[in-house]
Every structure is written in structure tokens, then in C-alpha cells.
Structure 1
Amino acid sequence: MNLNEFYITGINYKKTDASIRGQFAVNTDQYAAILEEAGQNGVEEMFVLSTCNRTEVFGLAPSPNVLIDLLCKQTSGSADSFKELAYIKQGMAAIEHLFSVGAGLDSQILGDYEIVGQIKQAIKFARENEFVGTFIERLYNTVLQSSKAIKAHTELSSGTVSVSFAAIQFLKQHLPDASHKKIVLLGTGKIGRNTCKNLVDYCGADSNNITLVNRTQAKAEALAQELQVKTAPYSQMMQVVQQADVVIVATNAEEPVICKKDLEGFGAKILIDLSIPNNIEPAAGELPGVALVNVDGLSRINDETLQNRIAEVPKANAIIVQHMQEFLEWYGMRQHVPALKAAKLKLQELHECGLFTLAAEAENTPATGGCPFHHKQPSSEETIQKVINNMALKMRRQQLPGCSYIEAINDFISAGNMN
């Protein structure tokens, strides 16, 4: 496990628009295919983070090109295009990037805490497919701890600014009175759920005028019951969309589920596309009376809450530094594990060979059964573990594994003679 073999390669909103990011978006089937091939390409551990703002591949791999090829083999975009737009980070830079992403510092809307749930889902899927090992597991847990500390001790994620809430702000700007408007929401995943809740809580919409549509009807019904809104079967999706005043799409389809031709002749509408790739055909925005916005357009909504968050960035960075140091201390100790195991084995062999029994007898050391480690002083196992703990402490402080190995043996001999 070499820190310099940890890479992240990805694209995000900073250099690519939604249409480009959509070419490299990863759904569940594609994610499974990537992991299936990863082991055959020398990848030890990895996970893929694919959201509306980014597609990133993190992994312990021979090179970043391996990760890029695995991704691009399963997506519609080419590896050459990806490399032109991608950022690649290695070792410490890759670790720092993940901490920044987990804190919401790298989000399109600063402090957007929805990214934490997306990281959890990405890790869960990789873990289920046996691609999360000791390194990524520990890194992930430390990133979560850092993110929680930032949320608890700063105002970086204060207020209600996220992509789903930005959709509500957009509606308020373009639809002053939403109480009598028919609103249709397609998709009931995390973003869809949050958007629906925000519609009820902040938009002034009448819950009787909100209709949920999802490919899996049971999921739509469960959310509808929770939020006291209506549902419509997936087979009637286009009918309710054509009758709606507002259509919000938070699905995960590879192609648009609503096209320009579907809306021609059905009057003015507000269309909000929260999906990557685009699940509403961009040309639909050309229709008379139709206003269309996607995640890139929503991210440009700026308010006082966002300005307040900017002031919290230095505090968040300080917390990240602290947790990164904790991770690096753990990593440093992991590097010493082989030496510590070898030293412990050698000390056990020395104890069993009887060498110290003779030494103890020669010095008239009290013993039971001829062995100084069998009386009621600390047991040999306790003595060995104490010596190993001391060795680990010295190795962490001095970074001299060879010297510590020799010292451990001397400490053990001394402990044996004193007993």
C-alpha cells in the first residue's frame, strides 16, 4: 500500500458544462462493469463518484490512465476527450481533494452537503463489490469525520442552499404565486426527495397540486404518503407532464425523458432539469413560453447565505488539515506493521528457545519451572506486547524501523532478566 499509488482523475463543473459531464456520467450498471474489470487491470481499491457536478475515479492503481480507460470504456465519452478536460491528482494531492469534496468546498454551490450522501453511496457500492480495502475505508471514515466536524463547528453548510433548494429559488423568481400551479416531479431519489420536501416547505405550493412520478411506483407512493402529495403511474408520465405548469426532472436516464416534440402545443411551462446527463432535451427551452434551466444555471443563483459561507472557508480548511494529519499518522503506522509483526514473531521465538531461562538461572533470577516468564510477574505475552508497543511509538517518532527492531530485542532481553 503505497500512498503515491493513490490517484484521482475526474472532470467537474469548473471546466465542463452539463452536456459534456453527461457523456461521462456513470449509472449503477456501468459502475458494476467498471469494478468487474478493475481487478484485471491491477487496481487494488477504487470507487467512482458520479454526480450532477462531477465524475471522479479514486483508486490505488498502477497509473491514472488505467482509471481513465476503465471509466471511458463504459461511458459514451472518449478517453482522449476526457484527458483533455480532466484533472489528475496523486498521493497527498488526491487525498486533500477528497477531503475538500467531502466538505462541500469543491461543490458547484459552496457548502452543498448533499455530496456527503453521494460519497456514502459510491463507497457502499464499491464495498459491496469488494473494492474498498483498508486504505480507502480508513480514508473515507476520516473524510466523514472531517465533514461532520465542519458542519458542526462552522457555518459552511448553514441555511438551505443546495441544488435542490436552488430549484426552489428559481421557481420563486419565475413563479411568484405557486399555490395554484400544477407541479410534476419525476424521480424520487435523494435529490428528488429533497426537492419535493423543499416544494412543500418553502415554495408555497399546494401539496394537492404536486404529483410524483417514478419508474418504481412503490417508491413514489411511499414519498407521497410521507409528504402528503399525489402520485401518477409511470405509464401516464407524459400526460401529466403536458398538463403541468412546472416540471422538475431528477431522474437518472441515459437519454432525455422529455423532448421538445413532447411539449409542442402545450403552453407555457417552467422546466427544471436536475439530471446529468440532461434528461430534458435542451431544445425544449426554445418553445414559446417555456423556461428551461439545468444544474449549471441553478448554480449561478447567488444570495446572502452563499456570501456568508465564503467567510467560513478558512475554518473548514483548518479542520481538514487536522483530520488529514490524523489519517497520515495512521498511514505511517500501517507502513510499520510488517516490521512490528516480524519483531513480535522473533521475540516469541526467542522466548520459546529457552535462552532466557539459562540467563535467568545464571543470575539467580527467581523463576517457576525454570523459566523467568512463568512466575506471577507479567506474562511473556504481556512483556512482548509492551515491548512492541514501545517499538511502535519509537518508530512513529524517529522513523527508524531497523534501529527500533534491534532496540526491541534488547528491551525484551532486559525485561526477561529483570523478571
Structure 2
Amino acid sequence: MAFLALGINHKTASVDVRERVAFTPEQLVEALQQLCLRTESREAAILSTCNRSELYLEQDSLTADAVLAWLADYHQLSLEELRACAYVHQDDSAVRHMMRVASGLDSMVLGEPQILGQMKSAYAVAREAGTVGPLLGRLFQATFSTAKLVRTDTAIGENPVSVAFAAVSLAKQIFSDLHRSQALLIGAGETITLVARHLHEQGVKRIVVANRTLERASQLAEQFGAHAVLLAEIPHELVNSDIVISSTASQLPILGKGAVESALRLRKHKPIFMVDIAVPRDIEPEVGELDDVYLYSVDDLHEVIAENLKSRQGAAQAAEELVAAGADDFMLRLRELAAVDVLKAYRQQAERLRDEELAKAQRLLANGNSADEVLALLARGLTNKLLHAPSVQLKKLSADGRIDALAVAQELFALDEGTTDKPPQ
């Protein structure tokens, strides 16, 4: 048994690399099954967000090189390029890393809550793909429990600091009065929902939600008194939009330079503030070259986020201690589980020997032997049989110079060295 956590994130790779390593929701099941076939992984799960792509694996032996090679091949990347920005955690370190990620301690925004939901989704998809078994399943459940404890027992998530909050905070710096601004939100997922909530709380004049399906856009729009449109209507809405924030799972850019140029002409070059939170990017990078456009990617939000994190720093140490305790407890329980099969086999063997000696005693009683004699024979016979295999093995190990095994046996059988017979001088 060996756990492996391998991947890239916002601290090790640029957004350009991250978007090339990202998995779409449609790819995940097939990718998981291929991952298990192509590597020595018995169990696997994939977490893919705008800030990270990570593989969580359970293997007989640690084979990070094979997994990295698969990941590079799957996304048609150079292995050297991937290796330069990838990190690998093994066993205890892998357990602690997963718990830190789920608790928001490894996020761009310290303590952000969305990552736990994303981790739960990764687990659900892996179960659907049939690539999660008992060991990785236990690790996920322990991870969720630890993350929940961090949320309830520390103040790490009390303040509304997130990528969505940072985007809105930046908008407030550019537009002093958001009450007169109109916002176009592209996508209808969790991040855009948070953006919509923050904008609504700031009193933005009008919010438009554009999405691939009108039903999903309408569901989100209804929560905040917004207007729902399809993606095809973006060029029309762009003309009246002061703020554009996008976060979809599209593999191709949704908003190009030409569409923005046309909108700017009709706006008489009134500035547009844009934030592209998506990975891969929704807005062509060339849009940022246009005058009167302020385009920010997720990586550009670092400075804003850092300013809003001060209130959470004090809680981080307490959260780290909870994660360390959670990881230690999980590994302890896992090691205890490893003994279950051995104990079960040992008990079955002892019960078989007991039944054999009991049957022999019953035959002696049926033949007229005295009860005292039969009981003595039963006790002696059972004792001899129970001690036979351990005695033979201990003598063999001692003859082979395995003094460590003798010490383990002393501890295993709870023998008091002061009361055991000493060997003759």
C-alpha cells in the first residue's frame, strides 16, 4: 500500500501551463480508467480546478515517473516541461497534502471554501468511474472530516475572501461607484454565483448572466434579480457592460479581440473591466492589448487577495495543527487496519486447532477416560499446538541472526523479561 498525490498548481505553474493540464468534466471518467490501466495505480481520483490539477493514487509501489509520463502523454505535453512544475507527495505527506488542499490551506485564497466542494466532486466522479476502492475511499472520508473540523474550529473561513471577492474588490477600485455600473457574468457555476452575490451586495445597477444553457443562467439570475441570456448574445450585452467576469469550462475562448473592439467603438471607448477566472481562459489574451480594457487573469488577483488575507493568517496555524493531527490519526488507523487480516487468519488457525483438540477430547470421554485425564490432555495438547508454529519460527529467526524478531516477540506476547527463564550459562 502506498499513497501518491501528484500535480501542479498556481504556485508552481503559470496559467498557460495549468490550462493545458486541466481536465474537462467530460474527460474525467475516461481519463481515470486510462490512468489505472496505464500505471500501477489500483485506485485513482483527479481534482481539476482553475488553480490546480492533481492526481490522488493508491499503489502497491510508488511510481511517480510512470504517472507523470501518463499525464504528459494524455495532455500532449513535454515530460520535461511538466516535471519542472510538478510536485509529488508520498504516503504521510500525500495524506497531509490532500487534507491541506480540502481545508483551503493550499489555495490561492487562504481558507476559501469552494475547494472542499470540488474535492467532493472529484471523489464522486472517481466512484462513478469505478476507480476508488476501500483505501482511497477511507482517505477521502478522513479528508472531508478534517476539512470540516478546520471550518468549525478555526476562523479561517469567517471573512468573505475568495477569487470572486477579489475580482469584485478590484472592480471597486476601478469604478468608485458600482451602483452606476453594469456587469456581464459569463458562466453559471459556483465561482460566478459567488461573483453575482458579491456584486449584488455592492448594489451593482444591472447584472446579466450569459451561459451555454438559458435554463441554468435563469436559475442563477433569479437569485439576484439579474437578466439571463445565451452565450450568443454576449456581443450585444458587451456594449452596455462596464464589468465582465468569466468562468466557464469551455476549451476555447468565448470572447475574442474583434468582439471587444466592436463594443468599445459603440461605447465610445468607455472603459471595460474584465476578469478571466477560467482555466483554460475564456477571454483571448490579446484583448488585454486594447486601449480602454483592463483585463486580469486569476494570476493577476494575487495582490488583491494578499491584502484581504491578513485576517485569516492567525487561524492558519491552528488549521495546520488540525490537519497534522488528522493525517496522523488516519495513518494510525490505517496501520491498525493492516493487522486485521493477520489477526483474522491467526484466530481462524487457533479455532481450527481448538476444534481438533476438542473433538479428540470428546472421543476420549466417549471411550470412558476420566474427565480429569481428558481435561489435562486437552489443555496440554492445545497449548502445544498453539505454541508449535511460533516456537519453530522463533528458533529459525534466532538462528538466522534476527535478534530484532526476538524483541518483537517479547513485546507481542507481553512477556516480562524479569520472569522469563534465562538460558543456561
Matched residue, 2:250: 253
**Change in CA separation of 1:138 and 1:290 when aligned onto 2, cut-off 3 Å:** same
State yes or no: 1:307 paired with 2:305. Answer: no
Q: 1:269 corresponds to which letter in structure 2?
A: I
Q: Does 1:221 align with 2:221?
A: no
- SS of residue in 1 equivalent to 2:54: strand
Is residue 92–residue 327 contact of structure 2 (8 Å, CA) maintained in 1?
no
Cα RMSD of the aligned pairs, angstroms, is: 2.9
TM normalised by structure 1 equals 0.82
- Pairwise CA distance, 1:241: 2.7
Shift, 1:83, TM fit: 0.8
Q: Does 1:51 align with 2:49?
A: yes
> 1:398-417 to 2 correspondence within 5 Å?
403=409
C-alpha contact (below 8 Å) 1:48/1:57 kept by paired residues? yes
Match of 1:189 in 2: 189
Task: Give 1:218 shift.
Answer: 1.4
| Shift, 1:131, TM fit | 1.0
Give, in whole Å, the separation in 2 of the partners of 1:295 and 1:76.
24
Residue of structure 1 equivalent to 2:137: 137
- The C-alpha deviation readout for 1:270-325, integer Å capped at 9, x for no partner, is 11111012111111011111001111111221466511211222211211122112
Q: Corresponding residue for 1:416? A: none
Listed one character per residue, the Cα deviations across residues 345-380 of structure 1 (whole Å, up to 9, x for unaligned) are: 223423443527728966569x9xxx9xxxxxxxxx
1:212 aligns with 2:212: no
Q: What amino acid does structure 2 have at the position aligned with 1:167?
A: A
When residues 177 and 403 of structure 1 are mapped into structure 2, their CA distance, relative to the original with a 3 A threshold, is: same
> Aligned letter for 1:266?
A
Q: How does 1:17-416 map onto structure 2 within 5 Å?
A: 17-41=14-38, 42-61=40-59, 62=61, 63-201=63-201, 203-206=202-205, 209-267=206-264, 268-302=271-305, 305-353=308-356, 355=358, 358=361, 403=409
The match for 1:9 is 6
Q: What is the number of equivalent residue pairs in this alignment?
A: 374
Letter in 2 for 1:238: P
Q: What amino acid is the match of 2:204?
A: A
- Taking a change above 3 Å as real, the CA distance of residues 406 and 311 of structure 1, as seen in their structure-2 partners, is closer
Q: CA deviation at 1:32?
A: 2.3
Q: Please say if residues 158 and 305 of structure 1, whose CA atoms lie closer than 8 Å, have aligned partners that are also in contact.
A: no
Cα deviations by residue, 1:103-148 (Å, 9 ceiling, x for unpaired): 2111111111211111111111011111111111111111111111
Q: Unaligned 5+ residue runs, structure 2?
A: 265-270, 379-404, 415-425
CA distance in 2, matches of 1:400, 1:29: 56
Preserved contact between residue 21 and residue 276 of structure 1 (Cα < 8 Å): yes
Please list the CA deviations of residues 192-249 of structure 1 after superposition, one character each: whole Å capped at 9, or x if unmatched: 2121122212x2213xx11111112211111222332110123323322343221110
Are the structure 2 counterparts of residues 14 and 331 from structure 1 closer, same or farther at C-alpha, using a change threshold of 3 Å? same
Check the 8 A contact 1:46/1:57 in 2, yes or no. Answer: yes
In 2, the alpha carbon distance for the partners of 1:308 and 1:322 equals 24
Change (3 A) 1:234 1:257: closer
Partner secondary structure for residue 293 of structure 1:
strand
The residue that corresponds to 1:394 in the other structure is none
Secondary structure of 1:311's partner? helix
- In structure 1, the gaps of 5 or more residues are 372-398, 409-419
CA contact (8 A) 2:161 2:305 kept: no
8 Å CA contact 2:235–2:263 kept in 1: the answer is no
Distance change >3 Å, CA 404–CA 243, structure 1 → 2? farther
User: Structure 1 counterpart of 2:54, which letter?
Assistant: E
Larger radius of gyration: 2
Question: What secondary structure does 1:107 align onto?
Answer: coil
3-state SS of 1:15 partner: coil
C-alpha distance in 2 between matches for 1:312 and 1:285: 37
Structure 1's 406 and 99: CA in aligned 2 closer, same or farther, altered over 3 A? closer
8 Å Cα contact 1:211/1:230 also seen in 2: yes
Separation of aligned partners in 2, 1:334 and 1:186: 48
Counterpart Cα distance in 2 of 1:79 and 1:30: 20
TM-score (norm 2): 0.81
Which residue type is aligned with residue 308 of structure 1? S
1:386 matched to which residue of 2? none
Deviation at 1:337, TM superposition (A): 2.1
